[in-house]
C-alpha cells in the first residue's frame, strides 16, 4: 500500500456553518474538495496521529464513497483506529454516544441532516470532539483557517474496506472496526426509560406511527419500538434508509411530514405520531389531532422528565436557543432551576452539559436532547414522550392542556423565506441592525416596541463571546420577533422570522397559533419590510 502526499491548493467557501460544512453533493464530489476539507479537519484538531475516530453517516448518496476516502486519509495521517457503523451508517446521536462510550478522540459525521440527498441535492461533513458534541467555534475557526492555506493532503492507495461486515481489519497501519450501529444506542435508551411501562402501554392497545422518512432512524426505531417495546409490526413506516430519502425531504415538520400529519388528523388516527430527520437528531411529535410545537415539546419534556428513571433525580437546568420560545424558561422558573438561552446551533449546549449546568436542551428547529449524549436526539425525545404518556395514562392533547393551564402558553411560529437573494437578505439584516436604537417606543398596529437588540452570547463556562446571533425586537405586550439568516442552507439565503406571544389567560390558550400571532406577524413585516424587499407575499415554510 502506497502512501501519497498529494499537492493541492485552497478551495473557496469551505467555511463550516451552523453544523459543519454543507454543500451540494456535486460540489463535495469535485476533485480534492472532500480531501482538502478532511485534511483541514485533521490539521485543525492538531493531527490524528495515534488517535481513534468514530466515522459514520446518515446513508445519503456519496456517504459510502466519502467514508472510504476518510478511512484512507485517516490511515495515511497515522490514526490508530477508526470505528465505523456497519454499512457506513450511524445516526448523529448514536455517533455521539459511540464517541463517548469508547472514549475516542472524536468523530466524523457525514450528513446534511434534514436537507434532501442525492447527486443533485445536499451533502455534509462535520467533526465532533471527544465529548461527542459538535466542534466548538474555536475548533471550526481553526479548521476553516487551514482550508485557506492547505497545500497538501495525505492519502493511502488501497482497496475499499468492506463496510458491510461487522468485525476488525487493517488498513495500512490503522485498525478498522465495523460495529452494529444500533446495539449500543438501544442499550443507552433502555437505561434511561421505563421500557416495562411503555411495553405495557403498547400491550394494552396504544397505537403509534413513527415515520422514519426513509432516513437513518428506520433501523433504530424498528429495533427499539417494534422489537424491544412490542409495538406492532408496521408501527415504523418508511423505515429503510435510502440514499435519496425516497426522493423526499427528510425534515420532520408539518410540511415535509405531511403524510404523518394527515394520518394523525384523520378519522382513524393512532394515539401518537412521531418522525425524525435524515440523520436522526430531530423529532416531530403529534398527538391525535394535536401537533406539538418543538418549543412546547421542550417545555413539557423538561417539566415531566422526572417520570423517566434516567431523570428521576430532577434536572440541573434547562437550556434553549434564543429563537426558541420562552415556554421552557417558565418551567425552569417554577422548578427553581437555571435556564439558559444560547445562539442557534447545538454546539452551544456542549459546555453547559459538560459542566453539569443543564440537563435538558432544545431548539425550535425540532431538536431536543439531554446530557446522555452531546447531540440532539430524535428517538430519545420520542421515547421520553412515550414514557411520560405511559406514566400519566393521558393523551397528548390532555398533557398539553394541563401544561398551558399551569404555565400559560407561549404562542409560537417560525416563518421562513427560502432561497432569497443573499444581497437582499444581508441588506435587510444590516438595515435592521442600523435601526435598533430608533425602534423602542414605536408602534406597529396595536404593539409598542419595548426593546430592540442584536443577540450576543457570553458562554458562562469558557467565557467566549459569540456576536451577531440574530436581531430581537420585544413588545410591551410580552410578544417578540426575532430575525436571523439560516446557517444551514446551501442556496442563496434563508431568512427566518421567529414569532412569539405569551398568553396567560387560561380561557385563551387554545387558539390557532397563526391567529393568535397575527399582530406580531404584521409588525414583523412592517419592521423589516420583508415583503417589499423580497418580493414574496408569503413565507415558503411555516412551522
The partner in contact with residue 488, picked from Zn ion, ligand G6P, none with C-beta cut-offs of 5 to 8 angstroms by kind, is ligand G6P
Backbone angles phi, psi at 491, to 5 degrees: -135, 120
Residue 205 three-state SS: coil
Confirm if 515 and 509 have CB atoms less than 8 A apart.
Answer: no
Contact range with ligand G6P by CB under 6 A, out of 423-431, 445-453, 482-490, 504-512 = 482-490
Q: Is 118 in the site for ligand G6P (CB under 6 A)?
A: no
- If the CB atoms of residues 54 and 439 are measured against ligand G6P, the closer one turns out to be 54
The partner in contact with residue 487, picked from Zn ion, ligand G6P, none with C-beta cut-offs of 5 to 8 angstroms by kind, is ligand G6P
Total interface residues for Zn ion by CB under 5 A: 5
For 343-397, where are the E strands, in sequence order?
A: 360-363, 367-370
CB-based burial of residue 450 (10 Å sphere; 0-12 exposed, 13-18 middle, 19+ buried)? middle
Q: Cell 408501527 maps to which residue? A: 235
C-alpha cell at 149: 492555506
Q: How far is the CB of 328 from ligand G6P (least distance, A)?
A: 15
CB atoms < 10 A from the CB of 540, how many?
14
Buried-state track 270-280, b at ≥16 Cβ within 10 A, e below 16: bbbbbbbbbbb
Q: How far is the CB of 383 from ligand G6P (least distance, A)?
A: 20
CB-based burial of residue 178 (10 Å sphere; 0-12 exposed, 13-18 middle, 19+ buried)? buried
Residue 317 three-state SS: strand
Looking at the DSSP bridge assignments, the partners of residue 541 are: 416
- If the CB atoms of residues 342 and 410 are measured against Zn ion, the closer one turns out to be 342
Confirm if 129 and 135 have CB atoms less than 8 A apart.
Answer: yes
Q: How far is the CB of 525 from ligand G6P (least distance, A)?
A: 20
- If the CB atoms of residues 109 and 399 are measured against ligand G6P, the closer one turns out to be 109
Binding mask 314-343 for Zn ion (x = CB under 5 A): ------------------------------
- If the CB atoms of residues 281 and 371 are measured against Zn ion, the closer one turns out to be 281
Separation CA 25–CA 117 (nearest Å) = 8
Of the candidates 464, 459, 516, 92, the one whose C-alpha atom is nearest the C-alpha of residue 325 is: 516
The partner in contact with residue 279, picked from Zn ion, ligand G6P, none with C-beta cut-offs of 5 to 8 angstroms by kind, is Zn ion
- If the CB atoms of residues 19 and 147 are measured against Zn ion, the closer one turns out to be 19
Q: Is 488 in the site for ligand G6P (CB under 6 A)?
A: yes
Contacts (CB under 5 A) with Zn ion, residues 109-148: 113
C-alpha cell at 142: 481553526
Contacts (CB under 6 A) with ligand G6P, residues 355-394: 363, 365, 367
Q: Is 19 in the site for ligand G6P (CB under 6 A)?
A: yes
Q: How far is the CB of 365 from ligand G6P (least distance, A)?
A: 4
Of the candidates 18, 58, 88, the one whose C-alpha atom is nearest the C-alpha of residue 347 is: 18
List, in order, residues 6 or more apart from 385 with CB less than 8 Å away: 272, 274, 285, 297, 301, 396
Q: Is 486 in the site for ligand G6P (CB under 6 A)?
A: yes
Q: Is 342 in the site for ligand G6P (CB under 6 A)?
A: no
CB atoms < 10 A from the CB of 73, how many?
23
Q: How far is the CB of 57 from Zn ion (least distance, A)?
A: 11
Q: Measured on CA atoms in the order 395, 397, 401, 407, is the torsion positive or negative?
A: positive
Of the candidates 346, 344, 284, 341, the one whose C-alpha atom is nearest the C-alpha of residue 318 is: 341
Looking at the DSSP bridge assignments, the partners of residue 482 are: 472, 498
Q: Is 113 in the site for ligand G6P (CB under 6 A)?
A: yes
DSSP string, 229-250: T-PPTTSEES-S--TTGGGS--
Contact range with ligand G6P by CB under 6 A, out of 124-132, 159-167, 344-352, 468-476 = 344-352
One residue of 346, 385, 412, 417 binding ligand G6P per CB under 6 A: 346
Q: Is 242 in the site for ligand G6P (CB under 6 A)?
A: no
One residue of 487, 492, 526, 541 binding ligand G6P per CB under 6 A: 487
Q: How far is the CB of 486 from ligand G6P (least distance, A)?
A: 3
Contact range with ligand G6P by CB under 6 A, out of 78-86, 147-155, 229-237, 339-347 = 339-347
Q: Is 297 in the site for ligand G6P (CB under 6 A)?
A: no
- If the CB atoms of residues 178 and 285 are measured against Zn ion, the closer one turns out to be 285
Q: Is 309 in the site for ligand G6P (CB under 6 A)?
A: no
Separation CA 314–CA 337 (nearest Å) = 10
Q: How far is the CB of 363 from ligand G6P (least distance, A)?
A: 4
- If the CB atoms of residues 116 and 474 are measured against Zn ion, the closer one turns out to be 116
| 113 catalytically annotated | yes
The partner in contact with residue 72, picked from ligand G6P, Zn ion, none with C-beta cut-offs of 5 to 8 angstroms by kind, is none
List the catalytic residue out of 113, 290, 370, 486: 113
- If the CB atoms of residues 283 and 387 are measured against ligand G6P, the closer one turns out to be 283
The partner in contact with residue 58, picked from ligand G6P, Zn ion, none with C-beta cut-offs of 5 to 8 angstroms by kind, is none
Q: Is 344 in the site for ligand G6P (CB under 6 A)?
A: yes
Separation CA 414–CA 422 (nearest Å) = 20
- If the CB atoms of residues 217 and 344 are measured against ligand G6P, the closer one turns out to be 344
Contacts (CB under 5 A) with Zn ion, residues 268-307: 277, 279, 281-282
Tell me which DSSP letter residue 134 carries.
B
C-alpha cell at 34: 472532500
Q: How far is the CB of 269 from ligand G6P (least distance, A)?
A: 28
Distances (CA, A) of 15 to 36, 125, 522: 12, 11, 35
CB atoms < 10 A from the CB of 511, how many?
12
Looking at the DSSP bridge assignments, the partners of residue 208 are: 272
- Enumerate the active-site residues: 113
Residues that bind Zn ion (CB under 5 A): 113, 277, 279, 281-282
User: What residues line the site for ligand G6P (CB under 6 A)?
Assistant: 18-19, 113, 344-346, 363, 365, 367, 486-488, 496
Amino acid at each position: 500500500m502506497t502512501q501519497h502526499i498529494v499537492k493541492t491548493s485552497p478551495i473557496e467557501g469551505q467555511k463550516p456553518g451552523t453544523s459543519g460544512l454543507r454543500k451540494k453533493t456535486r460540489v463535495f464530489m469535485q476533485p480534492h474538495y472532500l480531501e482538502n476539507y478532511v485534511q483541514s479537519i485533521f490539521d485543525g484538531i492538531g493531527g490524528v496521529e495515534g488517535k481513534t475516530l468514530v466515522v459514520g453517516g446518515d446513508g445519503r448518496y456519496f456517504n459510502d464513497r466519502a467514508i472510504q476516502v476518510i478511512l484512507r486519509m485517516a490511515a495515511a495521517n497515522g490514526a490508530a483506529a477508526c470505528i465505523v457503523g456497519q454499512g457506513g451508517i450511524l445516526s448523529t446521536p448514536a455517533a455521539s454516544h459511540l464517541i463517548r462510550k469508547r472514549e475516542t478522540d472524536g468523530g466524523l459525521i457525514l450528513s446534511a441532516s434534514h436537507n434532501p440527498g442525492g447527486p443533485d441535492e445536499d451533502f455534509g461533513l462535520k467533526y465532533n470532539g471527544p465529548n461527542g458534541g459538535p466542534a466548538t467555534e474555536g475548533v471550526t475557526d481553526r479548521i476553516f483557517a487551514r482550508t485557506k492555506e492547505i497545500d497538501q493532503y495525505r492519502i493511502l492507495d488501497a482497496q475499499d474496506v468492506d463496510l458491510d461486515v461487522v468485525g476488525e481489519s487493517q488498513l495500512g497501519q490503522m485498525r478498522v472496526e465495523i460495529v452494529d450501529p444500533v446495539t449500543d444506542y438501544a442499550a443507552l435508551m433502555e437505561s434511561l426509560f421505563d421500557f416495562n411501562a411503555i411495553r405495557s402501554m403498547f400491550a394494552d392497545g396504544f397505537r403509534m406511527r413513527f415515520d422514519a422518512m426513509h432516513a437513518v432512524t428506520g433501523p433504530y426505531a424498528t429495533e427499539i419500538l417494534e422489537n424491544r417495546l412490542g409495538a406492532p409490526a408496521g408501527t415504523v413506516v418508511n423505515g429503510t434508509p435510502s440514499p435519496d430519502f425516497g426522493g423526499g425531504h427528510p425534515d420532520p415538520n408539518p410540511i415535509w411530514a405531511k403524510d404523518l400529519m394527515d394520518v394523525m388528523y384523520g378519522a382513524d388516527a393512532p394515539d401518537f405520531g412521531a418522525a425524525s430527520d435524515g440523520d436522526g437528531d430531530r423529532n416531530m411529535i403529534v398527538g391525535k389531532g394535536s401537533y406539538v410545537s418543538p418549543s412546547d415539546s421542550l417545555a413539557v419534556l423538561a417539566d415531566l422528565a422526572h417520570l423517566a428513571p434516567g431523570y428521576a433525580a430532577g434536572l440541573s437546568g434547562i437550556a434553549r436557543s434564543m429563537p426558541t420560545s420562552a415556554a421552557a424558561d417558565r418551567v425552569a422558573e417554577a422548578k427553581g432551576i437555571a435556564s439558559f438561552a444560547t445562539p442557534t446551533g447545538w454546539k452551544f449546549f456542549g459546555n453547559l452539559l459538560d459542566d453539569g449546568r443543564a440537563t435538558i436542551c432544545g431548539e425550535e428547529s425540532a431538536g431536543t436532547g439531554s446530557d446522555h449524549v452531546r447531540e440532539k436526539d430524535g428517538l430519545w425525545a420520542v421515547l421520553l414522550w412515550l414514557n411520560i404518556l405511559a406514566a400519566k395514562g393521558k393523551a397528548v392533547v390532555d398533557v398539553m392542556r394541563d401544561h398551558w393551564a399551569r404555565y400559560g402558553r407561549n404562542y409560537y411560529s417560525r416563518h421562513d423565506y427560502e432561497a432569497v437573494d443573499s444581497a437582499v437578505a444581508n441588506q435587510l439584516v444590516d438595515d435592521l441592525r442600523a435601526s435598533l436604537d430608533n425602534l423602542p417606543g414605536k408602534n406597529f398596529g396595536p404593539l409598542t416596541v419595548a426593546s430592540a437588540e442584536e443577540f450576543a452570547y457570553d458562554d458562562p463556562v469558557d467565557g467566549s463571546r459569540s456576536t451577531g446571533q440574530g436581531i430581537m425586537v420585544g413588545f410591551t405586550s410580552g410578544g417578540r420577533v426575532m430575525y436571523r439568516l439560516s446557517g444551514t442552507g446551501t442556496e442563496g439565503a434563508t431568512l427566518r422570522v421567529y414569532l412569539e406571544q405569551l398568553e396567560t389567560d387560561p380561557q385563551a390558550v387554545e387558539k390557532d397559533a397563526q391567529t393568535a400571532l397575527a399582530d406580531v406577524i404584521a409588525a414583523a413585516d412592517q419592521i423589516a419590510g420583508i415583503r417589499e424587499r423580497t418580493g414574496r407575499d408569503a413565507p415558503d415554510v411555516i412551522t
